[in-house]
Chains A and B, each alone.
Chain A
């Protein structure tokens, strides 16, 4: 079934309730209208367990990151473990409250800061006339140069990107006018499209202004 065919078929039936990319397929297979919400229930088993386990798991992630030079592990594994702690907390106490607790700024700062730190550590020796990541030109011992790449470069980058993927997948496909398509008049129907833009656009009032503000913000980041 071609795309245009599908839109022509779907629009009159749905009365314009759904944006084109969410049109109901004829076979009714993939993009069904009845979606399961985020299946969160407060569990008296999971919440205390996570409360007990999370500090130890986070400390283990820090250990794997900081002790990567002397024992198995490193920034990638440690960052993944620390991100998994956030997943654990989100599963126990709800993804939405974890999203509010851990603002978008933190996630983006971790990912972008990690990438910039790695590039910065690599480029300092270049500025001093050496090669990329030539550790012996850094003003610190070579071992600390390697550890710096792992601790302030790779670990935050991996943790930030993994947390971002988690929150992105929990949010799902953007349904309202906050995508790249022209704004739909019915975007107020979108269940969770507005929450993401509220962080980005600030204090915009109308939905269209929120979408525009979000787009500019995304361009800057």
Chain B
């Protein structure tokens, strides 16, 4: 339990100024999303949060995830939420922020501290000894074998489309089923 603080100190030393400001931006926009009283403001701030997360993914060298986060979360989800708001009535609020629900905030803080204590077990960012990276049977095997077997440089796409192609097919059908479900829920028979 005492390790929580002693581990965060060396990690904090490695975080660059851009990463630190992005992390602060993400935390602030997340809090603002939770506390904004106007739903429209919350949706827009949530879009900014997603954009911050996408930039953060770029810095942590997950450009595929960053593209998805930017396109789906910051773009499409924000637009769909705005459309939903346009279909409902918007209530004018005097106050800009919600009043804090102290029992809920206490429960959230308790969960936050509990999760923080598990930081001890998480490897440092970019650590070459992190199991998810150094594992010779999964990550290193795919990195070594993807180009040799399916001839694409993007290992993520190689895994998704070839090695895990059947799973991806299932995911594509889930997306398709989502469109059908929206038709049924909204009692429509045509999309456009």
Which residue of A has the minimal Cβ distance to B79?
A87
A23 CB–B CB distance under 8 Å? no
Q: Which of B76, B87, B151, B176 contacts A83 (CB 8 A)?
A: B76
Cβ distance B54 to chain A, nearest Cβ, rounded Å: 11
Cβ distance B104 to chain A, nearest Cβ, rounded Å: 21
A207 CB–B CB distance under 8 Å? no
| A115 CA / B72 CA spacing, docked (Å) | 20
Q: Which of B84, B152, B179 contacts A161 (CB 8 A)?
A: B179
In the complex, which residues 132-167 of chain A have their Cβ closer than 8 Å to any Cβ of chain B? Answer: 132-133, 135, 141-143, 146, 149-150, 153-154, 157-158, 160-167
Q: Which of B79, B172, B191 contacts A118 (CB 8 A)?
A: B172
- Evaluate contact between A166 and B154: CB separation under 8 angstroms: no
Contact with A along B21-60 (1 / 0, CB 8 A): 0000000000000000000000000000000000000000
Contacts of B151 in A (CB 8 A): 141-143
Q: Which of B67, B72, B168 contacts A72 (CB 8 A)?
A: B67
In the complex, which residues 25-54 of chain A have their Cβ closer than 8 Å to any Cβ of chain B? Answer: 30, 32, 34-36, 38-39
A102 CB–B CB distance under 8 Å? yes
- Evaluate contact between B165 and A122: CB separation under 8 angstroms: yes
Q: How many residues of B contact A (CB 8 A)?
A: 49
- Evaluate contact between B154 and A162: CB separation under 8 angstroms: no
A73 CB–B CB distance under 8 Å? yes
Q: Which of B158, B165, B175 contacts A133 (CB 8 A)?
A: B165
15 contacts between A and B (CB under 8 A): A35-B88, A70-B153, A72-B154, A84-B71, A84-B79, A118-B172, A135-B162, A146-B152, A149-B165, A150-B161, A164-B179, A166-B76, A166-B80, A169-B182, A172-B186
Q: Shortest 9 CB-CB distances between A and B: which pairs?
A: A218-B189, A179-B187, A164-B191, A72-B63, A69-B152, A174-B187, A80-B71, A133-B165, A161-B179
Residues on B close to A: CB < 8 A? 63-64, 66-68, 71-72, 75-76, 79-80, 83-84, 86-90, 149-154, 156-158, 160-162, 165-166, 168-169, 172-173, 175-176, 178-179, 182-183, 186-192
